[in-house]
Amino acid sequence: MSELPLYSMIIDGKPVLAATTFDVINPASGAAFARVAAGDATHVDAAVAAARAAFPGWAALPDGERSRLIGALAEVLQANMPELMRLVTLETGKPQDGLNHVGAGMEVGGAIAWTQATSQLALPVEVVQDNAEARVEVHRKPLGVVGSITPWNWPLMIAIWHIMPALRAGNTVVLKPSELTPVTTARFVELANAVLPPGVLNLVTGAAGSAVGPAMTTHPGIEKIVFTGSTATGRKIMGNAAATLKRLTLELGGNDAGIVLPDVDVKAVAPKLFAAAFHNNGQTCACLKRLYVHADMYDELCAELVALARAVKVGDGFDPASELGPIQNRMQLEKVEAIAADAHRAGGQFLCGGERLPGPGYFYAPTIVVGLDEGSRLVDEEPFGPILPVIKYSDVDEVIVRANRNSNGLGGSIWARDLVRAAALASRLECGTVWVNEHGAVQPDAPFGGIKQSGIGVEFGLHGLAEFTSIQTIKVMQD
Ligand code: TXE
């Protein structure tokens, strides 16, 4: 019998085990460090039943009371920050601090900040007519049970992004974390259930290929699915959700372009560009994934980026010197290797990296490739790993067209000293968020989401909160 710690599901406020368990791997060692209950469709049924039973009471709470309880969840996260940070590093591999401070500390700290901010959001009744004839009010009502399906790259943070607005709006939740990173989420849901009424937040864990995800997306008792993950899985979820006409928020992949104009200070922007592309090993939906650089300073900027890539410290996330950890899983490492092999075949020149690093874990050297254009996999697909194509351009109007020639539309950035020109170019990029002189930074009050194949709907702020509600219009005639 294995001595590994065992994490249970949480259904109706109680820990629930299953007939079997599955192992969770530490990507820095390739070895299992925990076991998790391998749930199935019957557990989804039980969790949905608990969430449905809890819904009327939770939805009927005074708004201020729900806000207070969500504020209490922020305190729970804060009080357990060291343990949660340790679990984040164990299951994702990301360093405790990390390149540009993007690591486990940011993940748990961000979870606290988002929870606090979401506790303060409110969608008051909107009055669109109030005169002698009639009063017309627009009310926001909770949907019922929300199903949340999360990925492995930011497991706790993304769970918080899903759960908190759902709860704030008065819904109850059934949450399924990625089979690759269920542990931090399981611990958080356990802690949260000491604060929330039973059934308000339920956790069902499933092994790879289990029936848990499909059972949620087809379940007649779930009103909405909020999903963050790949475009391919997003399409399956949308198909499965059709029969019950579920509401959907889908935050899918991105292949964000960054465009560097010739007026920049190369030495000043290089570290910012490097961090935007390589933080969390490129495993963030809104990492900079295609870098277009003007011919005037192309060689100079490439040299700066290569120096940064060679200097960055890759290692175990618990080593305080590590800025980048391993890639989170073997499948993703192999995907990065396949895209690198394709880049070689397509004539790309590797200025650095291009290989695994020694060790039992899934480590890969930060890699910069030049000499490729659209039409190669490395430029057209998101590698979701530490490999960046740097692409030369000479005409600004043309590069906007090239950047837009991609099925993704999550984020993009313009890097320039002339901010007026940069802002004008920003509005021509086809994506949900454009940054000028930064890339990928999100905040709890600004909507974030993709267009084209990058998703449907937005998260964060009032626009994000509204997606967890339905509208009821009430018209009262005045005589
Ligand atoms: O994601 P999946 P994977 C991208 C990245 C990566 C690729 C594949 O390019 O290489 O996705 O990663 C659950 N019904 N992103 O395979 O499959 C699954 O259990 C319901 C971008 O890990 O999308 C997990 O909980 N659920 C992304 C979740 O979906 C299903 C972050 C995500 O898994 C399901 C991560 C089904 N049929 C990867 N099949 C981003 N947007 O940031 C799987 N799942």
- DSSP per residue over 200-221, as a string? SEEE----TT-SHHHHHHT-TT
Are 197 and 82 in a shared domain? yes
Pocket test for ligand 1, best of 185, 233, 235, 328 (most atoms within 8 A of CB): 233
Give, using CA atoms, the residue closest to atom 24 of ligand 1: 178
Q: What residue's CA is closest to ligand 1, atom 31?
A: 229
The answer to whether residues 225 and 300 belong to one domain is: no
Closest among 162, 259, 290, 250 to 449, alpha carbons compared: 250
* pLDDT of 479: 82
- Residue with CA at minimum distance from ligand 1 atom 44: 213
Give domain status of residue 236, yes or no: yes
pLDDT tens, residue order, the chain (479 aa)? 458 999 999 999 999 999 999 999 999 999 999 999 999 999 999 999 999 999 999 999 999 999 999 999 999 999 999 999 999 999 999 999 999 999 999 999 999 999 999 999 999 999 999 999 999 999 999 999 999 999 999 999 999 999 999 999 999 999 999 999 999 999 999 999 999 999 999 999 999 999 999 999 999 999 999 999 999 999 999 999 999 999 999 999 999 999 999 999 999 999 999 999 999 999 999 999 999 999 999 999 999 999 999 999 999 999 999 999 999 999 999 999 999 999 999 999 999 999 999 989 999 999 999 999 999 999 999 999 999 999 999 999 999 999 999 999 999 999 999 999 999 999 999 999 999 999 999 999 999 999 999 999 999 999 999 999 999 999 999 98
465 in Cβ contact with 121 (< 8 Å)? yes
Query: Is 461 in the same domain as 418?
Result: no
Contact status, residue 386 vs residue 365, Cβ threshold 8 Å: yes
Could you tell me the sign of the dihedral formed by the alpha carbons of 195, 197, 202, 203, in that order? positive
Both 116 and 90 in one domain: the answer is yes
Atom 27 of ligand 1: nearest residue by CA position: 229
Residue 11 contacts residue 172 (beta carbons within 8 Å): no
pLDDT of residue 359: 86
Q: What pLDDT is recorded for position 90?
A: 98
How many angstroms separate the alpha carbon of residue 233 from the centre of ligand 1? 6
Ligand 1 center from residue 385 Cα (angstroms): 15
Q: Is 285 a catalytic residue?
A: yes
Residue 86 confidence (pLDDT): 98
Q: Is residue 287 in a domain? A: yes
- Spatial distance between the Cα atoms of 400 and 451, rounded to a whole number of angstroms: 16
Domain count, the chain: 2
* 182 Cα to the center of ligand 1, angstroms: 13
Regarding whether 329 and 296 lie in a shared domain, the answer is yes
For 149, the domain range is 6-252+454-475
Q: What is the largest CA-CA distance in the chain?
A: 80
Residue 2: per-residue pLDDT: 57
Residue 449 belongs to some domain of the structure: no
Same domain as 42, residue 177: yes
Quick check: is 281 in a domain?
Answer: yes
**pTM for the structure as a whole:** 0.98
CA of 430 to the centre of ligand 1 (A): 23
Residues within 6 Å of ligand 1 by CB: 149-153, 176, 178-179, 213-214, 217, 228-230, 233, 236-237, 251-253, 285, 332, 335, 382, 384
298/246 same-domain check: no
Return the closest-CA partner of residue 141 out of 56, 71, 218. Answer: 56
Q: Is residue 152 part of a domain?
A: yes
pLDDT given for residue 302 in this prediction: 98
Would you say 255 and 376 are in contact if contact means Cβ atoms under 8 Å apart?
no
- Among candidates 429, 422, 434, 424, which has minimal Cα distance to 406? 429
State whether 208 and 266 are in the same domain. Answer: no
Say yes or no: 319 and 422 in one domain: yes
Q: Is residue 373, in this structure, part of any structural domain at all? A: yes
Q: How far is the CA of 175 from the centre of ligand 1 (A)?
A: 14
Please check whether residue 227 lies inside any domain of the structure: yes
Residue 49 sits in a domain of what CATH number?
Answer: 3.40.605.10
Which residue has a Cα nearest atom 17 of ligand 1? 233
- Verify that 96 and 157 share a domain, yes or no: yes
Q: Clarify whether 83 is annotated catalytic.
A: no
**Domain match, 317 and 383 both:** yes
